[in-house]
Homo-oligomer: A and B are copies of this chain.
Amino acid sequence: MEKVAVIGIGQTKFGELWEKSLKNLVQEAGNAAIQDSGVDKELIDSLFVGNMAAGSLTGQEHLAGLAADWLDIAGVSAVRCESACSSGANAFRQAYMAVKSGESKAALVVGVEKMTDVKTETVLTSLMGAGDAEWENYAGLTFTGLYALMARAHMNQFKTKREQLAMVSVTNHKHGMKNPYAQFRKEITVDDVVNSGMIADPLTVLDCSPITDGAAAVLITEESLANNGTAKEPVWILGSHASTDTIAFHNRASLVEMKSVKEAGRKVIQKSNMSHNKIDVLEVHDCFSINEIVCLEDIGFCGKGEGGKFVEREEITHNGSIPTNIEGGLKSIGHPVGATGVRQIVDLTRQLRGDGFNQINGASYAMALNVGGIGTSAVAHVLSKNL
């Protein structure tokens, strides 16, 4: 099988970008990745677009064909990949398989979402499309409501403290301070989080990632193109794994774990011949503060129920055992749904190149885990500086 490398990265600023269209975002991130790679545009033969909801938010389907045209690479094989908030990582995974299979030599992955041009209610309704319409949407649940149920169950079962949840947001805001692309560059305190507006008890507004416009892109290639001298130092994809759980939260045996995250997170480490303690830098899906805690537990960076204390002990910061969301996470950087999984790969590639805004010195191995819905989908990748 072909070895596969990330050789180009690009992204837009994340935020409320009212002056930029879906087209502007795709072009800005996509062209930046192509330019960064140093590879001739003519060599790109496939395009994978991660996007959840352009159809319901803007009326635009067929986004991959459109993006190929916008990027002036029409002729390529193009497909949109969707699995709610893990659409970006799934697009990256499909591109990886295309190159690994020999069907593509150079694949561009663009994750994008334009969310702030419509009313917030429209966005929330659209996002609930990631849940089980018949059993959750009609009962009035929102995604904050679902994750609040998870948070409350975790607090009851493991004595996780409200302040420990808040520490996730505080840490991610601190990590995002140096990131020029982040939506929010502002330090916050545990008191700020706890006293911010209540959304769904116990989650306040500062436990929640924001609604965001943005795009991120990576160019991946087979080994011969990655090593042809024109490309920057390649970052290798050591492994990819994706898994699923029931879509309805109430159908699960446990409300405090996500089987998909356990499976994707642990299998990708096996597939990559890695071990937890070799991973230097980690990206996980902090759409809500509780999710980062549960992901750390389910992947196995700490024991089940110990996530709150793990975060409190500062294990996820620079000097901790597993620096996590070191460029700010979804909370500080923002969460343009289809872009997030690709943005995680962009940030980890920067870290492995030694170009991070908030660099972990000597980072050699990195892992990303992107979650869709309430853990219905999870997609994980391990990247390495060396093949």
Contact = CB atoms under 8 A, between A and B. Distances in A.
Contact of A64 (B47, B66, B83, B240): B83
A31 to B, nearest CB: 17
Interface stretch (A48-56, A144-152, A196-204): A48-56
A210 B53 CA distance: 26
Contacts of A79: 81-83, 90, 93-94, 242
Interface residues of A, number: 65
B77 A242 contact: yes
Contacts of A259: 74-75
Contact of A244 (B74, B126, B260): B74
Contact of A61 (B74, B82, B248): B82
A188 B103 CA distance: 42
Contacts of A376: 62, 65-66, 69
A78 B83 contact: yes
B131 A244 contact: no
A346 interface: no
A97 B104 CA distance: 10
B76 A244 contact: yes
Contacts of A75: 243-245, 259-260, 263
Interface of A is mostly: mixed
Contacts of A379: 77
A211 to B, nearest CB: 16
A261 interface: no
A254 interface: no
A103 B74 CA distance: 28
A78 B86 CA distance: 11
Contacts of A246: 69, 74
Nearest to A245: B74
A65 B137 contact: no
Residue picked from A62, A74, A93, A244, most chain B C-beta under 10 Å: A62
Contacts of A266: none
The 5 closest A-B pairs by CB, nearest first: A61-B129, A77-B242, A101-B101, A65-B376, A100-B101
15 contacts: A59-B126, A59-B137, A62-B131, A65-B376, A66-B132, A74-B259, A75-B243, A75-B260, A76-B243, A78-B83, A79-B83, A80-B82, A81-B94, A97-B101, A100-B101
